[in-house]
Structure 1
Amino acid sequence: MPILSLLCCLRNTHNDHDDSSNGATTISAKTAAKKASAKPEPYSEQHARELFKTYEDPDSPGEIGPEGFEKLCTDMEISLEGALPLVLAWQMHATEMAKFKESEWMQGTGELRASNLHTLALALHDLEDLLLLDKPPVQPSGSVPKKKGATTSGAAEPYNRNKYYEYAADKNKAFRLLYNFCFALAKPPTSRNIDMDTASAFWSVLVAPKYPIMKDILEFINEKGSYKGVTKDLWSMMLDFCKTMQPDLSNYSTDEAWPSMLDDFVAWKKPAGAAQEGNVNVEDDN
């Protein structure tokens, strides 16, 4: 199930508003987007609060609901099919899928010093490049030697990149922070697990682009159709498995305590004879 489908499910369970209310919100959002894109402004707490009000649910004051969340992503030109909505939720300290409380929004935008759509989108794309696309990190403005005769104008950071530079110092740790956040975000308050459809949707946008073996695991899960829930332990070890395992599973060992679902995946992906031969070879080398 793609992330967009998850958001649509949430939106469809939300109370419908009358057409005039929806129309007004859409026009206001588009106007805010154009203004922000045309002329980025320095951070302002008042502007951050006004931006929140643009997407606020008229039936739930103090909250951006799924419809407002979708409009927000659309106005920032963030695809609902990818991982950026999850990165946005992470940076805003969201506690519910596709929802923001005003306090969460103000904390997140305050930390980033981003009170307009242009700046917020830039911060999210920077994190996508760093953690999901493995691009070289952005260098601090003061760390780049200036050419002779160059002026210092424009050297200021477009937003507060302090957290970004902390993430860049240890990208693996930062990605795991995002990854673990997503489990907490997806887990229903009354459950210890998340359902397999939700986990698969998150894995498809978070892990599969970085570790291609995840695509094979998702194919296996879809084909079997018998796995219904994901524990926190399975969620954590799935990332470890994808990070450490060779694409041909040549370094898989039955001595390692992988969750049974991953053992089942190996048996499905790798012929039993080949797996046994690999273990024998390792023992012979010793």
Structure 2
Amino acid sequence: MRRAASKKTGQSNSTAVNSSAADLVRSASSKASSKETERIDSLFYSYANESSGLIDPEGIEALCADMEVDHTDVRILMLAWKMKAEKQGYFTLDEWRKGLKALRADTISKLKKALPDLEKEVRRPSNFSELYSYAFRYCLTEEKQKSIDVESICMLLTIVLGSQFPAQVNSFVEYLKVQNDYKVINMDQWMGFFRFCNEISFPDLTEYNADLAWPLILDNFVEWVREKQK
């Protein structure tokens, strides 16, 4: 009977030790997380506008300079995507925290080092499709805005798709600049061009069938390309 009681006490002591150790680990983890958040917040305020409490276009330019990345680099768009930033040219503190915690970056040095891995993540097909769609929404400057002017679309296409589909993008941008039928591009047309790049061989265009559900602007673009090829 005494042995059983002694064994029970031993088990109880062991459980208490394990529980205490777990509490210490949790406490250390919580403190480390708190310190990381403090550093992330401090970094945010080093770029934020004091009056608005946001990182604005000027702050983003300073951030790009410190990261040694051009502000038109697609990786800046990828960073905004990672933060789930809602307004072009602006980062809120919550968006900044969300992005940098996901990237495990609480200094500029760590943020620079995180960019290659972020690019790899985004280049996965499902993520890239999401980024492409996000890029259009991110560039809408007004709440009820549904389309983007052609000039801005040309720049955006070059940034987002230019390195992946250079021939298609260069040709489509050229077409957009010479045509007179479209002053703005909507989301359906924007996503249609992405599908076009992924499904249609270029410049032979053999798979393109105008009877399928393509936006009219792409029918016109294909017709323009074929005319040029004659």
Q: TM-score range by the shorter chain?
A: 0.7 to 0.9
Distance 2:148 2:229 in 1: 34
Q: Is the counterpart of residue 118 in structure 1 residue 109 in structure 2?
A: yes
Paired with 1:273 and 1:116, the residues of 2 have a C-alpha distance of 52
Aligned counterpart, 1:210? 164
Q: Distance in 1 between matches of 2:228 and 2:169?
A: 20
Percentage of identical aligned residues: 30
* Partner deviation per Cα, 1:182-217 (whole Å, 9 max, x = no partner): 111111312122222222211111112111211100
2:138 aligns with one of 169, 182, 185: 185
Are 2:41 and 2:97, in contact at CA under 8 Å, matched by a contact in 1?
Answer: yes
CA shift at 1:254, angstroms? Answer: 2.1
Alignment of 1:1-286 (within 5 A): 44-61=36-53, 63-128=54-119, 130=120, 164=121, 171-187=124-140, 188-212=142-166, 213-248=168-203, 249-271=205-227
Q: Which runs of 4+ in 1 moved over 6 A?
A: none
Q: Secondary structure at the match of 1:64?
A: coil
- Residue 81 of structure 1 and its aligned partner are, at CA, apart by 2.9
For residue 271 of structure 1, give the secondary structure of its aligned residue in structure 2.
helix
Alpha carbons 2:79, 2:99 under 8 Å: kept: no
Q: Distance in 2 between matches of 1:245 and 1:272?
A: 18
More helix by share: 2
3-state SS, counterpart of residue 246 of structure 1: coil
| Structure 1: runs of 5 or more not aligned | 1-42, 131-163, 275-286
Q: Give me the TM-score of the superposition, normalised by structure 2.
A: 0.78
| Conserved? CA contact 1:92–1:109, under 8 Å | yes
Counterpart Cα distance in 2 of 1:273 and 1:211: 19
Query: 1:51 deviation in Å?
Result: 0.3
Residues 273 and 73 of structure 1: is their aligned pair in 2 closer, same or farther, counting only changes over 3 Å? closer
- Across the aligned residues of Structure 1 and Structure 2, the Cα RMSD in angstroms comes to 2.0
Deviations 1:118-142 (A, max 9, x none): 21122223333x2xxxxxxxxxxxx
* Amino acid corresponding to residue 243 of structure 1 in structure 2: N
In the alignment of these two chains, the number of paired residues is 193
Residue pair 2:132, 2:160 contacting (<8 A) in 1 also: yes
Q: Is the 8 A contact 1:89 1:98 kept in 2?
A: no
Which structure has the higher relative contact order (CA within 8 Å, separation 6+)?
A: 1
Distance change in 2, residues 1:99/1:203 (3 Å): same
Separation (CA, whole Å) in 1 of partners of 2:174 and 2:228: 19
| TM-score normalised to structure 1 length | 0.63
